[in-house]
Amino acid sequence: MQDNSAAYPELLPHLFRLEYTKMTAVLCRHFGLQHMEIAEDIASETFLKAMESWGINGVPENPAAWLYTVAKNKTKDYLRREQLFEKKIKGAIKTPGTQEAAAVGFTPQIIQDSQLAMIFAVCNPSNPPEAQICLALQILCGFSVAEIAAAFLAKTETIKKRLLRAREKLRQDQFQITVLQEKAIAERLPTVLRTIYLLFNEGYFSASGSQLIRKDLCSEALRLALILTDNKLTNTTETNALLALMCYQSSRLEARENEAGESILFEQQDRDLWSQELIDKGNQYLVNACTGDAVSKYHLEAGIAYWHTTSATKKWEHILQLYNQLILLEYSPMTALNRTFAYAQVYGNEQGIAEAEKLQLTANSSYHALLAYLWTTIDTEKAMGYYQQAIHLTTSATEKKTLQRALDKLSLK
């Protein structure tokens, strides 16, 4: 055991975010999704044991390996103690693609294969698309109900009901994680990509947590997308476009917040902190994405993110054109607000204000924050009023700090 108990309080939540969903994916593949609660219970008990043991004995030399060993032993103990394997489960899980209890393992390849199989299994057309995404975010990505609600701009009670119905539907269908045919993969891939996209977005700008940026979520989204590129059936132009987008956005993570965890506006970021390696990877995936005729929202957003990484004199004109296409393809309030910011960069703040006011997104904190930013150089009093309204509406503690800092700066003028 290592004598690093000081790092223990931070290490275990980090490992929970990274390893819990991997562990659950392998166990669900073994038991079948109709018994997903068993898999989740075993994974949860594993982390509870770590909390008890590591606090007393210290953190093991290889914490992740320790967790997987405990999970494997708990799986065997559970089946032995309850005699579920012989009495209840054996007949249910003896289908192609499942394994004997003794064969449960957590090698990197098994974990990767299980996660890829599980995300496609959860994205089952027997559930509505939004329910599929909610279930995937919870089971595969470890999202809380609050985080899912924030991603969908929905009430937590709505999400709870949606998750309960989706889980029950999978149980009723006795659904198994099996090898899918090419047609099924093609049908489910859009939902899988949407899930990864939402996972990355929550990491890039967390609307539900105490942190503005959650790099672990961004990294997990990138990892899942990279798994898709390893399979010829899922290595599509849309997958590559999404990867390009996430690489471009990730390249600026280190420059997006200060030491206090407050947001730094794009034009105030230190470009020396941008990752050229990730920008280059983004360029590579964007080239791969442009090999066909398809143009998805990921292509357009990747194009916008690409122009943000350049110093071209007329980049905002290109960005605005892409937003014009994106808003026609898939409207969302945030897309409309981002387009308005680009519009103001091209035509000036006064015209930007007129464009923003057409949206009438008065219940949206970002709407008021944008108007505050645009009014700053025109009318300080109006700008301060909009900042106050944005602070009142936002549910993000870190965003409140960022907005308050901007308001305080204006009040000194």
Mean pLDDT over 11-16 rounds to 80
Asked if residue 163 lies in contact with residue 133, where contact means CB atoms within 8 angstroms, the answer is: no
Asked if residue 200 lies in contact with residue 249, where contact means CB atoms within 8 angstroms, the answer is: yes
N- to C-terminal Cα separation, the chain: 57
Could you read off the pLDDT of 27-65 as tens digits, one per residue?
877 766 666 788 888 888 998 998 888 888 888 888 888
Mean pLDDT over 395-408 rounds to 87
Residue 99: inside a domain, yes or no? no
- Of 200-204, 213-217, 339-343, the range with the lowest mean pLDDT is 213-217
Residue 238: inside a domain, yes or no? no
Mean pLDDT over 320-341 rounds to 96
Question: Containing domain of residue 11, as a range?
Answer: 7-85
Mean pLDDT over 97-119 rounds to 63
Q: Is the dihedral of CA 33, 35, 38, 44 positive or negative?
A: positive
Whether residue 204 has pLDDT greater than 70: yes
Residue 57: inside a domain, yes or no? yes
Q: Which residue has the tokens 């066909």?
A: 292
Whether residue 225 has pLDDT greater than 50: yes
Q: How far is C-alpha 218 from the geometric centre of its chain's CA atoms?
A: 6
Residue 39: inside a domain, yes or no? yes
Residue 56: inside a domain, yes or no? yes
Cα–Cα dist 368/362, whole Å: 7
**pLDDT on residue 95:** 43
Report residue 99's pLDDT band, with 50, 70 and 90 as the boundaries. Answer: very low
Cα separations in angstroms, 117 against 97, 157, 224, 229, 280: 10, 29, 12, 14, 30
Output DSSP code: residue 180: P
Report residue 263: phi and psi, to 5°. Answer: -70, 140
Taking all residues of the chain, what is their mean pLDDT, rounded to a whole number? 84
Report residue 98's pLDDT band, with 50, 70 and 90 as the boundaries. Answer: very low
- At 108, the amino acid letter reads P
- At 402, the amino acid letter reads T
Asked if residue 134 lies in contact with residue 163, where contact means CB atoms within 8 angstroms, the answer is: yes
204 or 305: whose pLDDT is higher?
A: 305
Number of domains, the chain = 1
20 or 305: whose pLDDT is higher?
A: 305
- Please tell me the pTM assigned to this model: 0.78
Mean pLDDT over 96-119 rounds to 62
